[in-house]
Chains A and B, each alone.
Chain A
């Protein structure tokens, strides 16, 4: 299912899951902020292996018979794990070195494994909203009325902050030197594509994320210190500490692609409408698409709609991908249309679209990204 990439007046549902199982601190109906700890999960700790047979001074098989705890049972620190009542002297005991679960006992070596109840990790909401549902121990879903923007590529993890729009238009690049302390900790929206200077300036200002139409591969590569961003850098930005000045690099979200210019007008309008609002950006890395969730006050979004699915149909607004008119916005005139042959002379399903100026052309359906339904 593909949603329309730029929506306002909608409600976004975000699911937050424990890696394994945990305990939630929120209930349905609770309001949360991005830093709200919605749950805690025991953090995996180093298993502790201790010598039961050696402590009891018995062969492993005899020590097994003295186990006082079943495998899988929870124990506290100091609890007796095994006991051997010898014929002379006091019985010998082997005690648990920590709180945890007795995971196993190896009858050939006499070693036991304890999974300690270690520290805990917090699961944060990551987004502002209201808790819609809690699945005990597993996941929580949070509803956020407001706006939703989806990109084609993003990297840098989950960040949140205030959305700030720099520049005057979607296709007008922003000079790096024009950015100042007002943009610190923000999620910055810029027109045009991102330059090396812009990336460096944003790192210097501790901008949390940059949203733009595109970036030239050479610019990204140069900023990362290499000639070409290799596949692993599609997943995460590898920053040279010198370039970034030691600061956390900003996350990056592209709305059009590499080597692309400005974003679509529809995207620019949604983002400028959300200027100054709190938002959360999720950019876990390729192949997962990045998304931006903006919370708007209820009185501004009284009846938010669920995210709408994209439809290719007459009247849909689309962005063309690939070709000499890549990045052009068009309107679908006829779909389905008859198959047309690509330059490779392979026939494919196509749609008839109309671009600015009234020119109509056949475009393969796979080269269209729907940005507005009819």
Chain B
């Protein structure tokens, strides 16, 4: 939609031996193409583009048509690929090898069998939040046998049997056999995953040995459960394998020989882990998509991620509204919405998800939804330690100016991780986070090389100043650059953007007023930052947040929101007056 971009073009025409990697991220609304290849001996991002994911009248995504659209767009931008054979498989002799990513293929329906109801519910809650899972029907053997929907409905896509200290009782083995027959596991139509501890011998061992399920060493039954990551990974792999065989047309395209259908969330986790490792920082990646919102956080060896499946700002808008409610959304608006206005927006966006906001009012409503989607994602990973770097993807990177994306990220952090003090904000306008994660699954060195030079660009460094009264003095900022200086007094209740003139390196010194705590600095201690433009960070700015750490509320809510939106530079005074 926005910015189909050419990042770099080889100086020589591609030779027969030249290889390019095309990552197609098939989203529910948009397919994003990322072309990576050699530029004068260096692996670089070459170009990126996006096109609406085509659907047929039955609502099925046509991945083949999406890929050909992307290839055509890239060809018009770069001349690469000169041809995309539609009937070849494998990439060795071809100009381009394709790596598929995304969640455009149907999510899976799972049946989960457990020794008791509590274990079933616990295990289901551990596994269900994933973009590749549509639903989990969980219960004991007898509960599931009595489930009328299971008896007459379509077969599930996978069955999970969890056992641990207590396994399926011996007396229920026959019923288990019946259940597995009903679901299609017995005849190998449906795959099965058996989660059990390593030294556990199931009473249904004989039956299970015959069925040869995939075994995952895990205990998902008790409070001290472990192995949920391994179980999710097994499900993810199952989805990937199934997606390749069920997606319309993908098999007819030049898939990389080592490619498998990586979910976008999985790819983002890979990239987040790499980014955190490369910088030795705590990194959070927040992706607000049309249908799902993904959040992941990496701090050394600690990884948390959550996928709010079905919650987004496109087809997932109605679900998001239902989840967060009218009141939370209204809090972000610099105007009072009409009755039904937000509901109607959510429903219309869900049924016509590609439409764009045409008025400023619609823009603010959309941004309120994005903020709440971010909150849903952050709540899912339950941040206790603020990140050093936050990378915004999806809706934050397309259809929104970077300054606005920065404001939304800071707003969400204030709600969900209010202890943050100083954080870098970046926006993935080239869709590299999921793309390189998928490339890394096939060629980690290539992914690392491209990331090193073309990582998502920084938007701002946000600095928190807490304790100021609304409109009272909060901090002073002095910005110095060669040939100039600027001093700014910042009042409370603002989100102040401080930006040097274009193309200059500047030193920024922030000093807190009495009673104000600035980014964890001590009394009378200055916070110094350097703003230096670069390819990755072309228009650096500081966002100084002097607002109280609360959701906007109270009778003056709309004024407060308008004030900080103007001070952030994201919108002008005339914009707000026109509402």
Contacts and interface: CB of A to CB of B under 8 A. Distances in A.
B181 A324 contact: no
A51 B103 CA distance: 44
B36 to A, nearest CB: 25
Contacts, number: 151
A107 interface: yes
Contacts of A364: 356, 358
Contacts of A218: 339-340, 343
Given A44-B152, A113-B186, A257 B207 contact: no
B290 to A, nearest CB: 11
Contact of A216 (B58, B173, B344, B355): B344
Interface in B376-406: 399-401, 404
A323 interface: yes
A158 B153 CA distance: 18
A231 B310 contact: yes
Contacts of A229: 318, 347
Given A231-B318, A344-B401, A346-B399, A322 B347 contact: no
Nearest to A254: B351
Contact of A322 (B54, B187, B355, B401): B355
Contact of A113 (B154, B177, B319, B360): B177
Interface string A259-286: 1000000000000000000000000001
Contact of A152 (B210, B352, B360): B352
A234 interface: yes
B199 interface: no
Contact of A257 (B187, B340, B351, B575): B351
B209 A366 contact: no
A111 interface: yes
Interface in A86-125: 103-104, 106-109, 111, 113, 115
Nearest to B58: A288
Nearest to B353: A287
Contacts of A49: 174, 177-178, 181
Given A289-B57, A344-B363, A322 B356 contact: yes
Contacts of A366: 1, 52, 354-356
A107 B347 contact: no
A238 interface: no
B210 A107 contact: yes
A218 B344 CA distance: 9
A344 B318 contact: no
A19 interface: yes
Contact of A109 (B57, B206, B319, B352): B206
B207 A108 contact: yes
6 contacts: A109-B173, A109-B174, A113-B181, A115-B181, A231-B319, A343-B575
Given A106-B206, A216-B340, A230-B322, 17 more contacts: A49-B181, A109-B173, A113-B186, A115-B181, A153-B351, A218-B343, A229-B318, A257-B351, A323-B362, A342-B356, A344-B401, A345-B401, A347-B2, A348-B1, A363-B358, A364-B358, A367-B358
